[in-house]
Amino acid sequence: MPIPRKDMVLDTMSGSTKFSVIDLMDGFYQILMREADVPLTAVSTLSGMLWERLVMPQGLKNAPATFNRMVSNLLRPYRDFAPSYFDDIFIHSRAAGGMTDVEMHLQHLRQVFEVMRENKLYANLKKCIFCAPEIPVLGSYVSTEGVHADPEKIEAICAWPVPQDQKQLRQWLGLATYLHHYSKNFTATIRPLSQLLKADAAWSWRPEHQTAFDAVKTSLSTAPVLMLPDHSKAFHVVCDASDFAIGCALMQFDDEGRERVVSYQSRQLKPAERTYPVHDKELLAMRYALIKFRVYLLGEQTFALYTDHASLRTATKSPHLSQRMARWLSLFSEYNFVVHYKPGKTNILADALQTTCSRVATQLVTRTMMSVLCASLKRSLQ
């Protein structure tokens, strides 16, 4: 059984108002070994004695998958309100059927507890949370408002000192990238830092690197509370491309009519993709958005896709298509969407991405020109 995806676990909690977390104590040790396999776990000690495991030990190759399969199968009838992730069970409820959210939540808890009692599963009460308005879920916090990043992770990122070498920078970027979907222009912002991690790059911390370093901290510390997707409402997508990156955002309007972000996604362009004409880069951003948000958009009602490139409104209907565009068109045909033109001045995501990438490009070009001039002067003086 595959490991549950974090976004799929979070999506089931949309609309819920009461939450609980049950942490299973010593998860692996709650599964008995098959009697025939007990001798295979024998360990020889210095005294010459053999110790055998009666329960599933940690370290076995298939132990995590076995434990996850056991918990998932036991809770399968209740997965709509009690998704699990290894030793964590997340229970969420909303008012329904004439019952309040508290009454529904108590009923859901009772059903889960009965399964645990029948199968002799034990919980660690110190780590359990019951009937709360907000709970931690896999590095995020979920509430009635939506999902936001773990404050401790944000604090750790913001308190990180200036990296002194590639190893420290890679560690910091690894932590920050885990929260990239909270930042609307993350990939474009970190591009100067990514350049420092190339194998042939010499370590030299410049002002543009410090600017990007501080920008990531600011972006994550002011990250919005993301909306949990509501499949009863229409989605809309905003996407854009620049010289060095593409980005997109999945959005919805909440019950109060506010436009909310469900997820941000972005990536840097590959060397070959940077040679694409602007028109193809914008189409590449559309393709990237449809692939990233496929689970939300495929099979849904007609949704709007906003771009700041006016010609894309008729691009998919043109009789003169390149081979690349023809391949992409087959992907576009799977979705039911309408392209809308949104000028860059009103397209906040596009404007932010374009501004950041333009600033980065200017810094890189200036640095390259200075290097060429210095080399030329050295040759002339020799």
Q: Which CATH number applies to 236-355?
A: 3.30.420.10
CA distance 382 to 378: 6
Q: Residues spanned by CATH 3.30.70.270 within the chain?
A: 6-34+60-144
Q: Residues spanned by CATH 3.30.420.10 within the chain?
A: 236-355
CA distance 313 to 356: 25
What type of residue is 227? M
Burial of 264 (0-12, 13-18, 19+ CB in 10 A): buried
Block residue for tokens 């008729």: 314
What type of residue is 7? D
Cα dihedral 266, 335, 229, 157 in deg (nearest 10): -10
Would you give the end-to-end CA distance of the chain in angstroms?
68
Tens of pLDDT, residue by residue, the chain (382 residues): 788 888 889 999 999 999 999 999 998 999 999 999 999 889 888 888 889 999 998 888 889 999 999 999 999 999 999 999 999 999 999 999 899 999 999 999 999 999 999 999 999 999 999 999 999 999 899 999 999 999 999 999 999 999 999 999 999 999 999 999 898 888 889 999 999 998 888 899 999 999 999 999 999 999 889 999 998 899 999 998 988 899 999 999 998 999 999 999 999 999 999 999 888 898 999 999 999 999 999 987 889 999 887 767 666 666 667 788 888 888 888 999 998 888 765 665 555 544 444 444 444 434 444 454 345 434 444 4
Instruction: Write out the two tokens for 34.
Output: 């098959």
**β pairing state of 303-307 and 236-241:** parallel
**Is domain 149-223 in CATH 3.30.70, yes or no?**
yes
CB 147 within 8 A of CB 140: yes
Q: What's the predicted TM-score (pTM) here? A: 0.80
pLDDT of residue 158: 95
pLDDT of residue 353: 47
CATH topology (fold) of 6-34+60-144: Alpha-Beta Plaits (3.30.70)
Residue ranges with strand state E in 254-370: 259-268, 303-307, 337-341
8-state DSSP, 181? G
59: left (phi over 0), alpha (psi -120 to 50) or beta: left
Q: Please give the order of strands across the beta sheet that includes 18-23.
A: 84-85, 88-93, 18-23, 129-132
pLDDT of residue 349: 55
pLDDT of residue 291: 95
